[in-house]
């Protein structure tokens, strides 16, 4: 049993490494990091006269960064995940992968973890934003540390949800463009759709209940630096739901 467990772990690790190498061997991985840093950096530090420019507005916080980042991820993460299953199908390697000891579960998990790790890679350089605000604030260090780290945690959970949605969309269609559009639509709806529906069609307790089904309500809560159990459970449930949906789709298709 112990040797089987070790073998399974090694197989999953090998698949994760394969997926990461796949990202890094093409321009996709590098473009995601560069585009994310470029867009957020331009809005925060370069473009004048906007509500997001921290220098013009004298912000001593990264609040504007955490407002922009979800919208950038909404486009970049589907671009990363859209090729997850379509590439395997096109190259004919999906059948080989399914002969591995862990089967379909390991394929889905490895693709998800690899995509999520790429998101983490793109966030690490943004710590320079944190350092810059810390150094430039008056007095020095006048920054809400708890709120900032709570916002980073919220952004990681949000990105994890987008990754799960993207993997699901990739499993639905073998066409990368269709997968991208579907992932973009689902990510947008899960982020803002429930809030829009609740404000237009419902009121009172029903309005609040529908709104809490969306990502935005829980992300905003985390952005205030408060990591509540209900928000963490929501994001974990969202990720598990879409990964299970991916498994259902993959198992129902004959590659």
The total number of structural domains in the chain stands at: 1
Q: Would you tell me the crossing angle of helices 103-123 and 145-172 to the nearest 10 degrees? A: 140
What mean pLDDT comes out for the span 149-155? 89
153 pLDDT above the threshold of 50: yes
pLDDT number for residue 19: 77
pLDDT number for residue 5: 47
Handedness of CA 50, 53, 59, 62 (dihedral sign): positive
Q: Please state, rounded to an integer, the average pLDDT across all residues of the chain.
A: 80
pLDDT digits (tens, 9 = 90+) for 110-141: 889 988 998 898 899 988 888 888 777 777 66
pLDDT digits (tens, 9 = 90+) for 156-215: 999 999 999 999 999 888 788 899 999 999 999 999 887 777 666 556 566 677 778 889
Strongest mean pLDDT among 72-76, 89-93, 203-207, 210-214: 72-76
Q: Would you tell me the crossing angle of helices 63-81 and 103-123 to the nearest 10 degrees? A: 140
In sequence order, the 6+-apart residues with CB closer than 8 A to the CB of 229 are none
Handedness of CA 171, 174, 176, 178 (dihedral sign): negative
**Parent domain of 70:** 2-252
Tokens of 59: 């912000």
158, with CB counted inside 10 A (0-12, 13-18, 19+), is buried
What mean pLDDT comes out for the span 85-89? 70
pLDDT number for residue 1: 46
What is the rounded distance in angstroms from the CA atom of residue 49 to the CA atom of residue 63? 17
Average the pLDDT over each of 6-15, 21-30, 73-82, 228-237 and give the range with the smallest value: 6-15
pLDDT digits (tens, 9 = 90+) for 217-229: 889 888 777 788 9
What's the first-to-final CA gap in the chain, in angstroms?
Answer: 31
């Amino acid at each position: 049993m112990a040797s089987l467990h070790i073998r399974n772990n090694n197989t999953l690790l090998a698949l994760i490494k394969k997926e990461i190498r796949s990202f890094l061997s093409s321009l996709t991985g590098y473009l995601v990091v560069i585009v994310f840093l470029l867009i957020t950096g331009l809005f925060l530090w370069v473009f004048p006269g906007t509500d997001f420019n921290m220098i013009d507005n004298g912000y001593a916080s990264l609040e504007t960064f955490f407002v922009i980042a979800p919208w950038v991820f909404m486009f970049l993460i589907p671009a990363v995940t859209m090729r997850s299953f379509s590439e395997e199908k096109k190259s004919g390697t999906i059948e080989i992968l399914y002969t591995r000891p862990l089967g379909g579960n390991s394929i889905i998990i490895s693709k998800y973890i690899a995509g999520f790790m790429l998101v983490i890679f793109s966030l690490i350089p943004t710590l320079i934003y944190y350092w810059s605000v810390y150094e430039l604030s008056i007095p020095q260090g006048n920054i809400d540390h708890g709120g900032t780290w709570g916002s980073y945690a919220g952004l990681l959970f949000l990105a994890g949800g987008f990754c799960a949605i993207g993997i699901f969309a990739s499993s639905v269609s073998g066409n990368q463009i269709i997968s991208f559009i579907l992932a973009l639509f689902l990510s947008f709806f899960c982020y803002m759709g429930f809030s829009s529906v609740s404000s237009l069609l419902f009121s009172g307790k029903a309005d609040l209940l529908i709104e809490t089904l969306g990502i935005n309500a829980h992300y905003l809560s985390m952005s205030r630096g408060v990591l509540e159990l209900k928000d963490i459970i929501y994001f974990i449930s969202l990720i598990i739901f879409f990964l299970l949906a991916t498994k259902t789709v993959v198992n129902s298709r004959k590659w």
